[in-house]
Structures are given as structure tokens and as C-alpha cells.
Structure 1
């Protein structure tokens, strides 16, 4: 048994049907290949595993944690602000609601007018069919229409619904009457049309419905300049294995729903198209980007694709504004820089990076984004994995910095196209998410001061901190942060001389007998950086004496493309080395020890957890492994897996096979080692990572490994993480943290303070 497990209940028995293959001259056995199916036998096995979880978890811990978690969702959440011609779009989840509503305002801090309320859809009120959620929205340039992506069961295959946006004079009483009528209707008899329309606000009309357009999302949708149509990337569905069959389509309203044309087809499984449209000239630009490789840009002119920036391994994004194409790229700049040229020159094609003028040069921090306005650029950098903002003239001249808290993350940026106003989200380990507004006229005069700790990046000298532009808080999550919460950034030594950042937070004034129970979180892949974030469900854990740590493992983008490349393909082991180095350093510092240290991660981070649990089972007291990749010899055969071979390598390549087999968690379970308890979670409707990874790993650990318990929770009617209702999130967090509390020996306190 594990060091802290109180459960002696045996898991369900899993039949073995061993399949043996010879791959590149190596014999590989797989006793649980049958769990890759989605048939009745697997469904019964999943039900048995869910029942095992319910029996294994401590009901007393769950019962004491649940009210605390329920209180934590009884506050409003606020999404990004998007400005279109004096209309301010945002998402707001009201206290206690399951889903956020899409609202529009006449000012950033104005009153909400509801556009879409998913909570009112019949399927979310007990009606027939899986729950629905609104995952994304894109307003038209004139703000008079908005497209929203609707999914069933969180499977990331979206219907696109185009809605009219109500005027300020829309009769609010109409909305009240509609809401009352909806509440009295028989939800179970609602068809798909009434199910959708019941959640629309006063004066909102459904202009068009494009059902089952696959994985179309906000990044693959762009309105035409005249707002009478749009371009988007459609894919096939997961059920028929066609998610990576892609088409760029144009839809026009003039001819009704049938007026839709295919501009191009694309079947390269490793490349994903993105689209953007210049709202002034109407120029359509199409990017073809590998999941983790370079980006090639084309323009669609006279029915053909004209190459613009091609034959390059650089990762590049383009934003059009007021006659200028702003090009953010890591070409000759691993930490990225911002270039620019005229839209006319971009349209001509065959553009080289050398022809563009440099607007923001490469600095020590990573250039994350630059948002242009009429006369400014708002620039976001991350240095040592936390954020800095600065305001520049459009030619790149530094104007001043924006005042930000220490160790924070800027989570999104937006700006009015023709007005000197910008908006951004900010959060941190000790800072609930907030929506901030910024007046860009501040510091625009000749006497503008500067305050840039990175003088090499801004070209400016230091000045008094009072010169920094101060944002205004518009909305924030109303959760208090304890005064004694400590947030630190440490650097630990890992393999090949890498110094790896690790964030640590804990409550200083909470008495703990001995080392603190600690959870180490990480990801380490696909250029995704781990930055300061607020976790509301961590608050009880911190109040009860726990510590939370986050490792910026190689494979992410914390130090640009070199950091990413140091944790991909044949170098992937570095990612796991960094997790282990962080865990060992936390123990060596006295903060915790291996009897009180848990490791956690999801998706690619779940792969990291699986790898470090099998490589260093002695280091961890528990592990939480969510929607993971774990069979690295067959990941490419399911869902989006083939597209990830650019990150991991291809199992059909002999060289890649060798290093994949060396760390593949499913193939490296050591029956002679004592493994820590592991709590796996997956989702029946996951259209990214197939649930078979978690199924097969759970079965192998339960059958072959010493230690445990090894638990698998499979959630129905949800996917990889998109669109989960708040009530489901509370359920998941309650179970997951109850597992952690039991395995780390934590006594549940009375409240989260």
C-alpha cells in the first residue's frame, strides 16, 4: 500500500487480451488494447472504475470540502472585453450560474444587455440531450452581429450561430417576459431551434446557423470587411475520424444559408490553417502552421493563394491595422520581435522579413503580443515567466510602462480600433482575475516619462515608478486573498545546466507540523508557458497548511523557442528532468518531503506526470493526472494525435520510436517499484486526447504495480475541458482534492478563511 492511503479496497478486475507486435525489431506487448474501443464492454469497465472511485474516496473529506468549493463559485467571473464601434462585448458568469452569458455594453463599465445566456437553454435545464455550452464568440467589425460557437457535451465540435446584436433601446421588459415564459415551458419538448433561441436576449435574432462545422473556433473565424459575411476553417467530426480534414469556407448573407463556398481544401494532418481579414481593405490572409513548427502566410487574391511569408521555420503571426501589417515573429529572434510593412506590400506577396521595418526589437523578455490602436501599441512581454506591459508609439518608441503587480500574468489584451483605450486581464497566485482598462493618452505628450526595468528592451532609461501608467479596474473576481500568503520565485538546477523557474506560494502564518503538504504542477510542452495564476480551489488547501508550486519545465515558452526545443522530440526527457529537479529542490529546501509531495498536470502535463511517476515513484506521495497522453507508441492513431508528432516525434520513425519507448509511461511501469497513489481523470467526449490513454494506464497499474491506489474517474458529457458547467467543476475539484487531502494526510479545516 501507499504511504498515506487508508483504502484497502481492491480495484475491479480487468481482463487481459495481450496483443504482441514487433516494432522496428522490438517486441512490444499490450495487454489492454481492447480498452481503446468505445463499445459496451469498455463502457461497463468504465462504470466499474467510477464506482471504485466513489468507494475509495473518503466521503467525510468530500463532504467537508464540497461546501467550501460551492462557496468559491458563488461569485461572478468576467471574461475579456472586445470593442467594436462603441459596443463592448464580454462574458460574465453570474454568482452560482453554471455558464457565462455573452453581454454587450455601451461602455466598458456599463450595464449588461444579454446576447446569449446558455443557462436558459433547455438542454441545460433538464431537457433531453447533452448539455450545451458557448465556447467562443467573434463580433463583426461594426458590432451589429456576433458569431458564437456552441458545443454539445464539451466535445469541441461546434455549431456556428450568427446573431444580431440588440440596440441600447431594446425593450428590457421583453427579455424579462421571455425569461419567465422559458421557465414555464416544458424543456423536454424543446427542439434544437427553440432550445437555442430561448437563451437569447431581448431584441436578439438568429441570423444564420451553420451546424456541425467541426473544430472551427475564434482563431479560425474572421468577418469580411463589409460585415456581410465571414471566412472560417471547417473540419470533419471526431466520430468519423475526419477532424483533420480542413476546408477554408466563405459564407455570405446575401444569398441566405446556401450562399457558402469552399475557398480551399487542406488535408495535411500536421498543419492547421488560420484566417484573418483586414477590416479596411478586405484582404484575406491565410496562415498554415504546424502545431509546433513554422508558419507560412498567403493572401487570397482573385481566387488564388499568393505566397507572402513562406519557406521559413519561423513562428509568425500577423495583425492588420490602419494600412499596416504588424508581423510578430521569432525569425532571427528566439524571444520574438515585431516587424511591420504596408498592407499593400503584404498583398503583393513574396515578402521577406528583411524588407519589413523593425518596430519592437528582441529583448530579454518574451514578446507575447502587441495590440495596435490609432496612435499607440500596447506591448506585452514575459520575463522569467511573469508579465510586463508597456505603451509605445506606432513606430515602436517607448512611451511608458503600465503599472502591474509583482509576479502576475496578463491573460489577454484588446483595444478599441480608433480610440485611445485598451483592456487587459491580470491575475496571479495572490490576485483573483481582474479586468483592467487603460487610457492610452496618458504619457503621450512630450514630457512622457519612462519606467522600464528592461531598458535594453524599451531603449529607455529608468524613471520614477510614479511615471508608470496606472490602469483602472473594471471588474474583478470577488474573492479575498489572505494577507499572509507568500509568493516566491525560485530557480532550481536541472540537467544540462538548465536553471528552471519554480513559483511557490503558501500561507506563512498557518501552523504545520513538519514539512508542508505540497502540490507541484507543471506542463512542459507545445510552447505553453506556466505563469502565475489564481486557483480559487487551492484556497482551502492553502488555508489548511498546504503549499502550491508550479514548475516552468522545458518544452514551454518561458524563454522562447530554445526553451521549447530543449523539451521536445529527442530532448523530451528534459521536461521530466525539470519536474524531478523541482520536486527534489522543494524537499531539499525543507518546505516539504517525499511523503507529503504530490505532482499534478493535465493533457501534455498528464504525460509529464505519468513519466515522472514511472521514472521516480519514490519522489511522490501522490499524483493527479488529468486527460493525459500515456501510450506514446500509439498516440498518433487517435483523434488529433498525428498532428502532435511534430512535438513528440513519430512512433513509425525508428529513431523517434527509441526515445518514445524509453519514456512512454504505459510501457515503463516497473512491477518491482512501489508507486504512489494516482488519480486519473478523463472524459467520454474528449476529442483531443483519447480516453484510452488513462484507461490502459489505470488497468496496467492496478494489475502490475505495487502501491496505489490507482483510480480512474471518467466524466460523461464533457470533453478535454471546454464548456464545463460550474457544478461539474465543483464535483471534479471536490473529488480531486479529497484524494489529495487523504494521500497527503491533511486535516480538513472548518473554512477557507
Structure 2
């Protein structure tokens, strides 16, 4: 099955030290448990595996591919726009920069004023220090300050830095202590080592004098699951924080939000894959609001109204509303709320309220629809969108009828677009179209990624039959006019879990693969949210096998269609998607010519013992439960390597500083395949100074893309064509 031109070098030796546990009456052998440690022996083994990757990959291929990927990072990237009191915040990564800068504008398309430039931080100019990155930001409601999350080495444990936002007339001069900050920007406060705090768990008070946020312990001391809701006031400083609540339920994560008009602090407790309970913080206590429910629910406040998006009574979600005063009173039932947007065929993704309008984002068959409504829910107009596209984010101006959204697709580089929600049809003759509907509202492009897309790129959505009668969507894209001698080299990507939907996305680093005749496919496997909570539940717990069945059904359908065959089909995924890859490689090794498996879960009998693993037992089941143990053992990739089967080549990647999925999963699986399985080669690349995927500098991304695509090119037999395909280069197996 492998297309290697020469035999791969032998992998490093890995010692076997069998540990046998009796779990629920079953003896389970674990010969590579010593690779779970963080000691010199493991570090030495990891270094040998990295050297093995360098020896196994084709240097000629890497040399030819690297310039194409290097060119592709020399293009600007634009993040979401956040509006606060006439200030427009955004992140922009300039061509050639490793990290995005945080900027503020005085108009959506105005001149950038730099607030934070991580590229100028001393740590990022010193090769001997771990890189630092800015992972998120949250402006205050008045736009005068912004909190940013800073991590070192991409480990997702953040310092919180509070910065002032200067007026355009300010002309402060940077000092050596302020390297990396724009003119006039002052560091107001630093809250070091606040754990996994992020943009969704920090909310400014209405008066901007501080914020509430969720802090956790660190990964190094095993305290990531310990959580506190804290109140920080700028006047008091970081040593005078008050603790509003301590929370030690490992399966529940708090979130906070504040009504900028009344100052009401609302707290949500959400199971990672279960229901959400809402409380309000009044007079020093938490008052229950929506608590007697298994529904997944989110809340946002605007102009005296609490908008409640929920799957209660609507598996694909609906929008309800009540007054903020009624929400504050507590003991609210869904029945008391008025229905604004009913449930429908599409999944209600998000709603942006403005003074007189609502912008509603739905996904139907895993691609996006946008529509404009009155605040009572009356449909006014649809927004013009291309076919098979994804709206990646939406935001709005609380004080004006303007909204923004990100748009992408397999054939469409990412763009930031603006909508005037007050826009009406031009005249009486244009008020309705031939079907009696108002014409679609057009958007204006603000920022866009400048990458060429081949004119002959075909994008299709197919539906394949899987187990249990499921019809599973599969997106396919390829260049129609590129001649391929035989089956087309094809990559199948998927995820299938935690309510994450696979939708159309532009992958810049896959462009060379498409240019050279490859095809890219993405499967919307069960476990995601493409069809709401029933689709998610059909791929979790005892039904997790459905996820893997959908991957296999998609792979078989791609072969049966004549697009590709088992000698030219690769499978790829990361994190939970890495579990899917590991499962289908061990269950159907004959179907794949190669596999990419990034930051994966693979030992499903011990995943709960490391980092955030315990919180995932609501999705997978708990290995200490005898019923869950049986179905977990049945598919756990690490425990289902068949020594008599020929396995495809597999390229594993992990990170030494991953604080979500422990790198031992990839280590142990690599060791078992290298020592006990036929086929391969089985390669493991471990990166240092990065984590699960946060904050990678552009130079590291180029290295990763070069290695992973060189592996696939060699295993799938892809011929590198001329560099004048109309494409300068292309996302990872998944995305960029």
C-alpha cells in the first residue's frame, strides 16, 4: 500500500515493561506505560523518534514543498471584529509575521492602530526562550481597556494582561518596558498564571472598573480541573481579588457574562456535552434562573432583553426571550419566555442583536444561511451568500444597525464582511423578487485573504449510507481539469464528537495538493452537531462506534465512486478526530493508504487519568464504569492493534506542552505499532514549545505542513507538478 521509493529506516528500539491491570475482571496488558512519564528516559526516546522522522521523510520532497508553504504564510490573516463604543477591535497577522497583532480602528475599514504586537516581545526574538503568544482578547464595554490572554509555549495556561486603549489623539512613546505595545498603550495590570481562563470565561463589569472571570489551577500541578470565579477590580490590584465561587465538579465548566446596561452578572454551569444551568449573582449570592433542565442553553443581554438560545423543545435550537428584570428574579421556566425564532430544519448557530434587528445564523446540511429579522422574530430578508460556504463568526454593534461576519468555503479564502441591517430594498419596484420575497441583502468586504483559487475547482456535497440508516454528508473538492493517471490521491478528514460540526473551510496549505491532482474530502460524522443534538448523541457513549462507521462509509463511498481507491486514500484528524483516525486504522487497515493522526486520544482505558480527560467522560463514558469499559475496550485503538494485519503508514504528531490531550497517547500507540504491527512506517513527531494548537508561530506552521504533506505525497504517490498551476501553494489535512 505504501508508495515509498526506498525502505524506511528501522525505528528506534522501545523497551517493553508490561504492566497488567485487572479491570472489571479483565486482565489488560500495557507494555508501554513507562512512556506516560515526563522524565529523561522519555525525553531521550522522544528525541530518537524525532530523528527517526527526519530520516524517514524524503528530504527532496520536503525541499520542493517547503517554498510553496512558506509562500502561503506570507499572506495576511484577519480575525473577528469586536465593536465597543465606536471602536473596532480585530486581530491582523501581516505577511511575514509569526503572530497576529491586536489593532483598533475608528471605522470598520479604518486605519489600524496597534495595541499589541507579540512579534516585538523580547521572548519572540530570542531563539533560546519559548515563544509567547496572545491567544485571546476581551475589550471593556466602553472600549477604554482590553484584557488579553498571554501564553508561553502554547500551553493554554494564561497570564491576563489589562491594557489601556489610547484615543486617536494620544501619541505616547514606547519605552523598553513596553516593547510589543503600541503608542500610548499602558499595561494597567498583570494577573499571572490564571490557568485556562479564556475569552468565554471573562466578562467586564458594566462600569469597566474590573471583570469577573474563571480561573483554574495549572497543568503542572494537576489542578486544571479546580475552578474559581473571581472578581478583579483595577483599583484593588491582582492581590486583592475576591473569590465569588469555588467549583470542583470536574465535569462542569463555568462561564460568565455581564449585562452592560444593568451590570447583572450571569453565571452558567455547563457540562461539556450535557445541559446548562444559569444563575445570577445578586447581593453576594448565586440565584438560580434556569436550572431544572438538561437543555444546552446560552444567554446574551441587549437593551433590556435576555435572549435565550436553547435546544429545549427544539433539537436544532430555537431563540427565546424575556426581560432582563425577569431573568434577574430567578426561577425562570422556558415556558415563560416568548419564542422569537422557532426551531427549524437548520441548526440555529448564533444570533446578533442590534437596536432594531436580529442577524440570525443557521446551518443546514452543514453549510451556512444568514437572515435578518425584526426583534420580535419576523423574517425580513436573507443575506446573499455563495453556495457551500461557512459563516465562521458573527458580531454586531450594540448601538447601531451594523453587523460583521467571517465567510469561507473550500473554494473561498477567508474574508471579513460588513452588513447594514437597516438597509431596505432600493425602491418600490425592487421591494420583492419574483417569488414575492424581499431581495437578499448584500454585504461589503472589509478584509480578505489574498490567495488564488483555481477556476476549475469543483466543490460537491454527497450523502453516503452508514450504519443505523444514517445518511452522512461528505464534502468533496478537487480540480476538474487536472489529469490524473489512475485513481486520484485523496485525503478524507473528519472529527465526529463534542458537538463540533465539519463545515466548508478554506485550507491554504492544501492548495498544492489540489494543484497536483489531489482531492480533499470532509465527512460530517455522527458525534458532531451538523443535525443538532440527536446527531451528537448518535456518536457518543455506547454509540461512539457510529462515528467510526461514518468515516469508513465515507472512505468506501469515495472508492466506489471511482474518485480514488484504497491505494490512494488517506485519512486524517486531530484530537477527538485523532481518536477517529486511530479507530478506523485499527478496524479497517485495508481501506487506507496512509493516515495522519494529530494530538490524539488513543488509550481509551486511561484517558480519564490525565489533564482534562476526566471532563470528557460525559462524552465517551467512564472506564471505571463496567458497562462503559466494555464498549471503550472494544474500540480503544491502543488496545486493538492486530499483529497479524498489515497497517497503513501513520504519521503521528503531538506536543510536549499539550495541556489538553496528554502526549503519552501518541507515544504509546507509536511504540505498539512499531514493535507489534505489520506495515508502516509508523512515525511520531513531537514538538516542543507548543501545545494542543494555540499560538504557533508561522515558522513552526511551515515546518509542520512541510513534514505532514511530504509524508502524504510519498505514501499516496503524488507527483509534484510545475509551480505554475495558478496556485502558489495550500490547510493542514484539516484546515489552516
**TM-score where L is the length of structure 1:** 0.95
Q: Deviations over 1:195-226 (max 9, x none)?
A: xx210000000000000000000000000000
Q: Does 1:284 align with 2:256?
A: no
Residues 464-515 of structure 1: per-residue CA shift (max 9 Å, x gap)? 6x81000000000000100000000000000000000000000011110011
Residue 81 of structure 1 is matched in structure 2 by 81
Q: Classify 1:589/1:106 alpha carbon distance in 2 versus 1 (closer, same or farther; 3 Å).
A: same
Find the aligned partners of 1:688 and 1:728 in 2 and give their Cα distance: 20
- Indicate whether 1:211 and 2:192 are aligned: yes
**1:541 partnered with 2:513:** yes
Q: Which residue of 2 aligns with 1:689?
A: 661
Offset of residue 126 of structure 1: 1.2
The residue aligned with 2:470 is 498
Residue pair 1:5, 1:677 contacting (<8 A) in 2 also: no
User: Aligned to 1:644, what secondary structure does the other structure show?
Assistant: helix
Q: Distance in 1 between matches of 2:493 and 2:7?
A: 25
Matches of 1:311 and 1:638, distance apart in 2: 31
How many pairs are equivalent? 724
Matches within 5 A, 1:8-19: 8-19=8-19
Per-residue deviation, residues 135-160 of structure 1 (Å, max 9, x unmatched): 00000000000000000000000000
- For structure 2, list consecutive stretches of 5 or more residues without a partner in the other structure: 727-736
Q: Describe the shift of the 1:462–1:267 C-alpha distance in structure 2 as closer, same or farther (beyond 3 A).
A: farther
Q: Which one of 619, 623, 626 corresponds to residue 654 of structure 1?
A: 626
Of 401, 413, 418, which residue of structure 1 is paired with 2:394?
413
Pair 60,683 (structure 1): closer, same or farther in 2 beyond 3 Å: same
2:54 maps to 54
1:486 to 440, 458, 461: 458
Q: Secondary structure at the match of 2:91?
A: strand
Cα distance in 2 between the residues matched to 1:651 and 1:527: 21
- Rounded to whole Å, the distance in 1 between the matches of 2:668 and 2:468 is 33
Partner of 1:457: none
Q: Quote the offset at 1:127 in angstroms.
A: 5.8
Which of residues 572, 591, 595 is equivalent to 1:600? Answer: 572
Name 1:737's counterpart in structure 2.
Answer: 709
- 2: CA distance, partners of 1:33 / 1:645: 21
Determine the C-alpha separation between the residues in 2 that align with 1:94 and 1:162: 24
Report the alpha carbon displacement of residue 427 of structure 1 after superposing the two structures with TM.
0.2
Residue correspondence of structure 1 range 287-686 to structure 2 within 5 A:
287-443=268-424, 462-463=435-436, 467-686=439-658
Counterparts of 1:19-34 in structure 2 under 5 Å? 19-34=19-34
| Cα distance in structure 1, aligned partners of 2:569 and 2:95 | 34
Distance change >3 Å, CA 127–CA 162, structure 1 → 2: farther
Alpha-carbon distance, 1:442 to partner: 1.2
Q: Hey, what does 2:734 align to over in structure 1?
A: none
1:75-131 Cα shifts (integer Å, max 9, x gaps) = 110000000000000000000100000000000000000000000001100165311
Q: Which residue of 2 aligns with 1:42?
A: 42
Distance 1:599 1:679 in 2: 11
Instruction: Say if 1:628 and 1:682, in contact at 8 Å, map to a contact too.
Output: yes
CA distance in 2, matches of 1:116, 1:222: 20
2:732 is aligned to: none
Distance 1:129 1:317 in 2: 40
Tell me the SS of whatever aligns to 1:80. Answer: coil
Give the Cα–Cα distance (whole angstroms) in 2 for the partners of residues 523 and 428 of structure 1.
18
Q: Is the 8 A contact 1:399 1:450 kept in 2?
A: no
Shift of 1:47: 0.1
1:169 to partner: Cα distance: 1.4
Displacement, 1:166?
A: 1.4
Q: How big is each residue's C-alpha offset from its partner over 1:394-421, in whole Å with a ceiling of 9 and x where there is no partner?
A: 0000010000111000000000111011
In the alignment, which residue of structure 2 is the partner of 1:107?
107
CA distance in 1, matches of 2:56, 2:20: 33
Given that 1:399 and 1:444 are in contact with CA atoms closer than 8 Å, whether structure 2 keeps it comes out as no
Specify whether residues 607 and 484 from structure 1 end up closer, same or farther in structure 2 by C-alpha distance, changes over 3 A only. same
- Structure 1 residue 253, shift from structure 2 partner: 1.4
Residue 56 of structure 1, CA deviation:
0.1
Judge conservation of contact 2:2–2:716 (CA < 8 Å) in 1: no
Inter-partner Cα distance in structure 2 for 1:672 and 1:216: 47
Alignment match, 1:456 = none
Aligned partners of 2:636 and 2:238: how far apart in 1? 48
* Cα separation, 2, equivalents of 1:6 and 1:575: 35
**Aligned-partner Cα distance in 2 for 1:127–1:145:** 32
Q: Which residue of 2 aligns with 1:145?
A: 145
- Alignment partners' CA distance in 2, 1:252 and 1:449: 52
Q: Measured at CA, do residues 487 and 329 of structure 1 come closer, stay the same or move farther in structure 2, by a change above 3 Å?
A: same
* Offset, 1:607: 0.1
Q: Residue 450 of structure 1: CA displacement? A: 6.7
| Cα contact 1:153–1:717 (8 A) shared by 2 | yes
Q: Post-superposition shift, 1:284? A: 0.4
Once the two structures are TM-superposed, the CA of residue 254 in structure 1 deviates from its matched residue by 2.0
- 2: CA distance, partners of 1:410 / 1:540: 25
Task: Give the structure-2-normalised TM-score.
Answer: 0.97
- Shift of residue 373, structure 1, vs aligned partner: 0.5
Q: Do the aligned residues in 2 keep the contact of 1:5 with 1:709 (CA within 8 Å)?
A: no
Q: C-alpha displacement at 1:462, in angstroms? A: 4.7
- CA-based RMSD of the aligned residues comes to 1.4
Is the CA contact 2:93–2:100 (under 8 Å) kept in the aligned structure 1? yes
- Find the counterpart in structure 2 of residue 249 from structure 1: 230
Partner of 1:618: helix, strand, or coil? helix
Q: Is the 8 A contact 1:449 1:468 kept in 2?
A: no
> CA offset at residue 703 of structure 1?
0.2
- Segment drifting more, 743-752 vs 49-58: 743-752
Residues 240, 450 of structure 1: alpha-carbon distance in 2 compared, 3 angstrom cutoff: farther
Query: 1:750 Cα deviation (Å)?
Result: 2.9
> How far did 1:449 drift?
5.1
